[in-house]
Amino acid sequence: MKRPTTAGKTKACAIILLLILGILFASAGSSFAVTKDELMPHIFKSLGHKVPEKYLTDTDGEMTCRSALRLTLESMGWGFVITAYDQIAILPEWSHLDPVTEIAKKISPPLPPSILNDLDRFLNEEDIKALTGWLELCKKKVSWKDSFSSEGTTLTMFKHGIGDPSGPANGNLETGANEPLFAAMITVDMNAVKCQIATAVMVGANKAPLATIAVENYGVIGGINGGYFAGAKPIGVLRRQGYTENAKFWPQRSAFGWNDNGETVFIDGRETADISSDRRFDKYTEMLQAGPLLLKNGEYMDNTENIKENVLNMRHPRTIVGTDDNRIMWAVIDGRDNMHSVGATIEETRKICRWLGMSTALNLDGGGSSSLWWMGNTFTLPSNSNDAERPIPYGVLIFREGSGVRN
């Protein structure tokens, strides 16, 4: 038998080396790098529709599980939830929070552990399958909730459902079971935290955005819009710091009153025609009127309070004040946005109030006026066509200890 020559050995080694390199390149090719352009068709296929680029983060290069999840959430219409966490993370006590991580930990249905437990590694083919499989579950039902407490107040935010950029802004009342809905709520102990009505006149205007009214007063923790108005005039009774801004008690409309001692009252418009001659209500130094009353002692109320049908039975953004019998809850349901939140009818609002834990609740002014502000940021989305907060004649502000509305 002939022994291989040196040249033959060299050739054989070269062939083996080429084979090894070929195997390595083939292996690298099978664990391909995933880019945004490669990921999104899989997401859109699972959703059943494409999502315009304006809703999506501009991401270059190879995707991590975190960046892929962010794009998936944005495609679902959850971009504002990410924005809300960004606003929370501005505050020192929550500066460590990462929005995508926090949503991933609290969203239901839960994310696949392979993704949840290692968000910073690069995405692979199996992860895409896991992510789109989870998205199929979300199409049936998906929800999230988180809370943040500071200085006697608690901000709670809720998100439900998946958006559709081609759907109607108010959703579909007949078929929409998993439509997008977002709500934000400030819960306060009225014995410990002062709430007062503040008018736009205090900031030199007949009307001003809630955020402007809030920042122009000292020591404000939070705020929310109030009752109905026409022009710059409140509709129904308005009382602040014991002074009556508007004395007319609108017939058959319900109201909410309170004072600095933590005493509160929900006035049922069916039972009280007027408060001007009823001394029981004199002690409530703050009062606003709106309607209808949504819940009373845990029971649904069916009185329309002579409010227009399109306000009652069409979906709109809603502002609510309610109680769980211990604390007062100021809440806003966003609306008129087919990706973010479609809003609620009055009947749906009653159910949402009960789900939020309210036993008694009053509907306040909604639509483009609905707005909620907390710790320096607005945690609701304007529903006006120009994406700006609607100027309002007054709002309800929540103050730090030792602060209050400036006169």
Per-residue model confidence as pLDDT tens digits over 179-237: 999 999 999 999 999 999 999 998 999 999 999 999 999 999 999 999 999 999 999 99
Are residue 384 and residue 252 in the same domain, yes or no? yes
| Count of domains observed in the chain | 2
Residue at a domain's end among 116, 140, 164: 140
Answer whether residue 7 is part of any domain. no
At residue 387 the predicted structure's pLDDT band, cuts being 50, 70 and 90, is confident
Residue 66 is part of which domain span? 36-140
The reply to whether 250 falls in a domain is: yes
The answer to whether residue 25 sits within a structural domain is no
- Residue 12 falls within a domain, yes or no? no
* Shared domain check, 113 and 188: no
The pLDDT value recorded for residue 1 is 47
Are 210 and 320 in a shared domain? Answer: yes
Q: What Cα–Cα distance (Å) separates residue 145 from each residue in 8, 73, 187, 304?
A: 70, 15, 15, 31
Q: Do residue 44 and residue 193 come from a single domain?
A: no
Closest C-alpha among 233, 229, 242, 351 to residue 290:
229
| Averaged pLDDT of the chain | 91
pLDDT at 18 over 60: no
End-to-end CA distance of the chain: 110
Query: Within 13 Å and on the Cβ side, how many CA atoms surround 59?
Result: 22
Query: Does residue 236 form part of some domain?
Result: yes
User: In this structure, is residue 369 part of a structural domain?
Assistant: yes
Q: Residue 26: what pLDDT? A: 42
Least confident of 4-13, 16-25, 40-49, 200-209: 16-25
Q: Is residue 387 part of a domain?
A: yes
The answer as to whether 164 is a domain residue is no
Query: Are 325 and 224 within one domain?
Result: yes
Are 60 and 111 members of one domain? Answer: yes
